[in-house]
Amino acid sequence: MDPRQYEKYSRQILFAGLGEAGQESLLRANAVLVGCGALGTTVANLLVRAGLGRLRIIDRYFVEPSNLQRQTLFEETDARDALPKAIAAERRLRAINFDAAIAGIVSDVTPENAEDLLAGHSLILDGTDNFATRLLLNDYAVSSGIPWIYAAAVSSYGVTMTILPQETACLACLLETSSAGVETDAAMDAAAAAAPAGFEATCDTVGVLNAAIGVIASVQAAEATKFLAGKRETLNDRLVACDVWKGRFQSIRVARNPDCRACARRNFTYLAGKSQPHISMCGRDSVQIHEHRRRLDLGELRARLAPAVAEVRHNDFLLRFRVPPYEMTIFPDGRAIIKGTQDPAIARSLYARYISA
Ligand SMILES: [Zn+2]
């Protein structure tokens, strides 16, 4: 550490739990963040300010005005320009801390690319908003022995849990076990935030308070800081649940399931890709299509579409146009988000008509 860095991180070095050695470790550490929405921007902001050496940020979406209430790295202009979240976050974090190496990647994490995107990182941070992706992350983390930190927040409550493969319970132990080892009166909230697909309350259906995000992302960031600073023995071995509206905080012991599909039987169904559809719901009133992996030339697509559709706009990262009442956003990897419908059949026919044609 040079004198400039010593001064920059002095308040953290003074903290006895970290000290100079902990700060040195943090500056050399690397992590990958999957999903850069409310939790993701908050945890990335905290870790990059704390001096995390390298951070890869993977996100599939773009900034919208309704994000700004809680996604703390983004500004009005990012929403106006429809910048991908991974790119907007990378730019902002670089300005926040010149020491950090930040790489934003605009992509979904899928069974096919999980290894390419996640391998080589010492910690995986959950910033996702759905359990299909979280269970995929859990499968990848458990199969490759990489620790990860699960986090979720919705409404006024949230949960987070540090998962050390083969040491602690994994997410499948928590979600796929009927009793789940969770038996306190926070169980209802934790269960609501940790419900299996199909029963999820989401930020798009019941909303979310930015304060709930701040608390859970901070607990997640503290755990990440301990791990990345080499203080593994100080990690919390409990699921932390809080409700900022009711002012209730609890930590809950989650037992490992000796018959867990993932960490005991090593049956990695999500990583095997059997459960990853090419069409997925993507927030309220939109559908994502990722049917074929071919590169699209956005400039060429724009020229082709301009006579036929309204308000075609494109930047370096995406192309957007309107086919009232729908709005389509197309990424160079062929992925599309169709807004204005929840019907996969409509989304598929729009995709076929305008993109596959
Ligand atoms: Zn397990």
Taking only the tens place, the pLDDT of each residue in 300-344 is 889 988 888 888 888 889 999 998 899 999 998 888 999 998 888
Predicted confidence (pLDDT) per residue in 25-84, tens digit: 999 999 999 999 999 999 999 999 999 999 999 999 999 999 999 999 999 999 999 999
Q: At what angle do helices 38-50 and 210-228 cross, to 10 degrees?
A: 40
User: What is the 167 CA–ligand 1 centroid distance (Å)?
Assistant: 10
Cα of 163 vs centre of ligand 1, distance in Å, is 9
CA 139 – ligand 1 centroid, Å? 9
Taking Cα atoms as reference points, which of 211, 212, 21, 54 lies closest to residue 123? Answer: 54
State yes or no: is 263 an active-site residue. no
Q: Of residues 137 and 131, which shows the higher confidence score? A: 137
Model pTM score: 0.88
Residue 203's alpha-carbon distances to 45, 180, 210, in angstroms, are 21, 24, 11
At 131, is the pLDDT very low, low, confident or very high (cuts 50, 70, 90)? Answer: confident
Residues 286, 335 contacting (CB under 8 angstroms): no
pLDDT surpassing 90 at residue 280: no
Task: Give the pLDDT score at 277.
Answer: 59
Alpha carbon distance 54, 258 (integer Å)? 35
pLDDT, tens digit (0-9, with 9 covering 90-100), for 195-242: 443 445 677 778 899 999 999 999 999 999 999 999 999 999 899 999
Mean pLDDT of 238-263: 95
pLDDT band at 188 (very low <50, low <70, confident <90, very high): very low
Mean pLDDT for 129-155 is 95
How far apart are the CA of 7 and the centre of ligand 1, in A? Answer: 42
Rounded Cα distance between 43 and 60, Å, is 18
The CA 356 to ligand 1 mean position distance, Å, reads 41
Predicted local confidence at residue 181, as pLDDT? 46
Given 203, 242, 263, 282, the catalytic residue:
203
Q: Which among 58, 76, 59 is positioned nearest to 67, based on CA atoms? A: 76
Q: How far is the CA of 168 from the centre of ligand 1 (A)?
A: 8
Provide the 8-state DSSP code for 155: B
Strand order across the 326-330 sheet:
279-281, 286-289, 336-339, 326-330, 319-323, 310-314
What pLDDT was estimated at residue 100?
97
pLDDT at residue 293, rounded to an integer: 66
Q: How confident is the model at residue 295 (pLDDT cuts 50, 70, 90)?
A: confident
